[in-house]
Structure 1
Amino acid sequence: MPDRYEYVPHPLLRRRVRDVASGVEGELMAVINEDVSNSIKPHWVELAYVRGPSGREFSTAVDNIKSAEPHPSQRTDQPLSGVRRGEAEARSDLGRDQPQTGAGRRETRSA
């Protein structure tokens, strides 16, 4: 039985991508040319396999994949105006690694 798939090189492999059909972002793990036919006549389709935020991979048409990384002219790692770079990074990292408790999610006002 001949192989029913082959790996295809792609410039976005191992990069952050967005599936335009579903809007889901993830990492492009592979692009595979697959025979998706159940009959004797082959039907080859290029499929992109994306690992989503949940860790599960899903497939989509390779034409639905677009880069989710910002263009170099749209970089957001520039310091905030009026704030030194170290202070801006420290502010953006506050509480990122700490889970919020139920009390932390509630409003501070009383009813």
Structure 2
Amino acid sequence: MLASWADDEVGPTLRAILQTAAHEPAIREKLRRVVEGSLMGVSQLGSDERDRLIRSGLVSSQMMGFALMRYVWQIEPVASMTDDEAVAAVAPNLQRYVNGDLSAQIQ
């Protein structure tokens, strides 16, 4: 993910899509479908349909939020973190969302 967003050719397109999706319902719907499709592996996990949807939604929110902070809004210090720092900070949350215990957080 980091390489795609930082790529000189692909990155500007990804940033434009994310910015446009915030204001254009048709683009937002297309982005939603792409994100849902890319999270099919996550959506296969979980104890039931609700758990699968929660897990895939949390993964998506973490990834989109990080992309907004780092690549679209360029908010420091997130924008200038090294890739290794970013992975070290975000990966544990993603792993917990994929197969960790969420029962304490969800009532």
What's the TM-score, normalizing by structure 1? 0.28
More strand by proportion, 1 or 2?
1
Structure number with larger C-alpha Rg: 1
Looking at both structures, which has the greater relative contact order when contacts are Cα pairs under 8 Å and sequence separation is at least 6?
2
What's the TM-score, normalizing by structure 2? 0.29
More helix by proportion, 1 or 2?
2
